[in-house]
Structure 1
Amino acid sequence: MAFATSDPATSDRAIAGRAAAPERSAYLSDTVTRTAKILVVGDFGVGKTTFIGSVSEIAPLRTEEPMTQASVGIDDLDHLDAKTTTTVAMDFGRLTLNPRLALYLFGTPGQRRFWNMWAGLAEGAVGVLVLVDSRRLAGSFDVLDQLETHVPAPFAVAVNHFPDSPAHSPDRLREALDLLPGTPVVDCNALDRASSIDALVTLAEHALTSRARKVGS
């Protein structure tokens, strides 16, 4: 198992990961003894590709393609006037969260027509980070339903803030999204590395707690 309760995966809020973005290298440090797969999901246009790109210590793998006229009337571009590309398979990145633990990040496409890929991408994931755009909450309901039905892993919600995002408390968003009381809800700026890493640390802590409860039950 990638996570273990005895491993200080989130000690000191992952000091190693919170540092400024390192010079990107394909090589994993020889101090790393554990790895964990994390799935990053969310509605179309919530910032999954940006999120993975901001935290990844390697050049992220992206499968973006230009949006065409075929998507007009199908993909909801409300508040997304500047969006010209979309992920069609997955995003991939890596983050060494502390000297002993590395996270492998897999981002899913947001559109419903690509959801058949989720099961394969989710295989082996120890946790899921759900990115949400508070300007477009309606699109997150189907994402959460898909997640709870087909991805049996603990998840946390990260609210990605845009310049015109309305301000909502985590409790209000938890209620609006009909989340269980124990589901973490955190603020996030996908453009900011430290903010994005904090969201991943919150997810890691939640995954550890959930696993400990399962072992103890």
Structure 2
Amino acid sequence: MESASSERIMPTALKILIAGGFGVGKTTMVGSVSEVPPLETEERITAASVGIDNLAGVEGKLSTTVAMDFGRITISPELVLYLFGTPGQDRFWFMWDDLATGALGALVLADTRRLDASFAAIDFFESREIPFAVGVNCFNGHRDCTSEQVRQALALAPSIPVILCDVRDRNSSKEVILAVLEAARAQAAARLTQVAGC
């Protein structure tokens, strides 16, 4: 019989969604931060998407996520994060409810050239009371806005973290994911306070 000290520890699994508009960098982020080769469901953009997918601002994009991206980060032997990147186009939004089931929190990636593409994801998580942070993907290191300017443009509450990042960089991506975990912790603490005050 194995002793208690030699028993295998089953880690707690936490699920985080990475969402945002089409071409904002969700697949790139999962790939940059995952410790395992990420699962990607990328397909080439064809003429069939003309008039359906809005390529404004991402005209050079050649592929798109048609289901989800998946990656993993081991925080400790007791804690593992599973990352689920959502598809960005309107026609795949029907999948978001299933992907959101059981999520601890979410990251909304934003592109300052197309901030309006972030509203649907923000509305989705706010309406379901899923804690989230906003990561502003600074393409090619270009930072044309401050996080406070983005907060105001997206009409975000002061409690929602807004962080400038480069999703190609592992450390930058980790920083934003830590902000999601902090947002989830803060929401859980607020709910406990409410319950204790009843």
TM value normalised by structure 1: 0.81
SS at match of 2:36: coil
In the other structure, the counterpart of 1:175 is 152
Shift of 1:58: 1.0
Segment drifting more, 116-125 vs 94-103: 94-103
Aligned positions of 1:124-139 closer than 5 A = 124-139=102-117
Aligned positions of 1:16-27 closer than 5 A = none
Cα pair distance change 1:34/1:57, threshold 3 Å: same
Judging by fraction of residues, say which structure has more helix: 2
In the other structure, the counterpart of 1:156 is 133
Is 1:54 the equivalent of 2:32? yes
Shift of 1:148: 2.3
Specify the code of the residue in structure 2 equivalent to 1:74.
I
Cα pair distance change 1:126/1:50, threshold 3 Å: same
Aligned with residue 204 of structure 1, among 159, 166, 181: 181
Shift of 1:33: 3.0
In the other structure, the counterpart of 2:98 is 120
Unaligned runs of 5+ in 1: 1-29
Question: Is 1:34–1:100's contact at 8 Å kept on the other side of the alignment?
Answer: yes
Segment drifting more, 206-215 vs 140-149: 140-149
Decide which structure has the larger Cα Rg and report it.
Answer: 2
Specify the code of the residue in structure 2 equivalent to 1:60.
P
Specify the code of the residue in structure 2 equivalent to 1:43.
G
Cα pair distance change 1:72/1:166, threshold 3 Å: farther
Aligned positions of 1:1-217 closer than 5 A = 33-149=11-127, 151-163=128-140, 165-217=142-194
Q: Deviations over 1:44-97 (max 9, x none)?
A: 000000000111111111111110112123322233233111001111110012
Unaligned runs of 5+ in 2: 1-7
Cα pair distance change 1:201/1:32, threshold 3 Å: farther
Q: Structure 1 runs of 4+ off > 4 angstroms?
A: none
Question: Percent same amino acid among aligned pairs?
Answer: 50
Matched residues in 2 for 1:33 and 1:164: separation?
Answer: 36
Q: Deviations over 1:84-111 (max 9, x none)?
A: 1100111111001244321000111001
Matched residues in 2 for 1:143 and 1:206: separation?
Answer: 16
In the other structure, the counterpart of 2:4 is none
Question: Is 2:125–2:131's contact at 8 Å kept on the other side of the alignment?
Answer: no
Shift of 1:168: 1.1
Matched residues in 2 for 1:85 and 1:43: separation?
Answer: 14
Cα pair distance change 1:97/1:167, threshold 3 Å: farther
Matched residues in 1 for 2:143 and 2:43: separation?
Answer: 30
CA RMSD across the alignment:
1.6
Q: How many residues align?
A: 187
Question: Is 1:66–1:86's contact at 8 Å kept on the other side of the alignment?
Answer: yes
